[in-house]
Amino acid sequence: MDVTVTDGRRVTSLGGGTLPNRRLVMRWLRRQALRLADGHGGDVPPGAPHLPARDVDPVVFHGSDAPERLRSWAGDDERQDNAIRALECGLPAVLTVTDPAVGMHVTLAGWPVRSARAVGDDLPDGSP
C-alpha cells in the first residue's frame, strides 16, 4: 500500500508499506484518509502503534473538497466493502482526490501481495 501526491509532473510517496492481510490494509488506508483530511497541514493525530506500517506525511490542502472526499470515503461502509472485495479478487483498492486550487492529486492505494505459495497454487500441477 502507498499514498502518493502528484502535481501532474512528478509523483512523491507520502508513505506506505506492507501489511499481512487485506483488513489491515483497509484499516491503514482508512486511517491515512482521516489523518490527511483532519490534519491537512495542521495538527495531525498521533500514530497507531498497533499497525506495523508508519503513518503518512501530512499535506496542505487549499480547499475543503479533497479533505471532505477523504472523510466521506473513510466513513462509507459500502465503499470500504467494495475495496475489500477488489483486494479479494486480486485487484487494487484505489482512491484519488484532487485539490483543484493547486492541481494536486493525492492517491491512496492498496493492492494484494501474493505469496510464492499462492502463486504456485495457481499452476495446473501445483508446483512453484
In a domain, 38, yes or no: yes
In what order do the strands lie in the sheet containing 2-6? 11-16, 2-6, 104-110, 93-99
In a domain, 126, yes or no: no
What's the average model confidence in pLDDT over 89-104?
92
Decide: 106 and 97 in contact? Cβ < 8 Å.
yes
Q: List residues bridging with 99 in a β-sheet.
A: 104
Distance from C-alpha of 35 to C-alpha of 1, rounded to nearest angstrom: 16
The count of structural domains within the chain is 1
In a domain, 45, yes or no: yes
Please tell me whether the overall predicted TM-score, pTM, comes out greater than 0.85 for this model. Answer: no
pLDDT digits (tens, 9 = 90+) for 15-71: 998 888 888 899 899 989 998 998 754 555 555 566 667 788 888 899 889 999 999
Decide: 8 and 103 in contact? Cβ < 8 Å.
yes
In a domain, 79, yes or no: yes
What is the domain range of residue 32?
Answer: 2-121
Per DSSP, 57 falls in state P
In a domain, 71, yes or no: yes
Please give the pLDDT value at position 54. 79
Distance from C-alpha of 69 to C-alpha of 4, rounded to nearest angstrom: 16
- Kindly tell me if the per-residue pLDDT of 116 is higher than 60: no
Which residue matches cell numbers 492505494? 109
In a domain, 128, yes or no: no
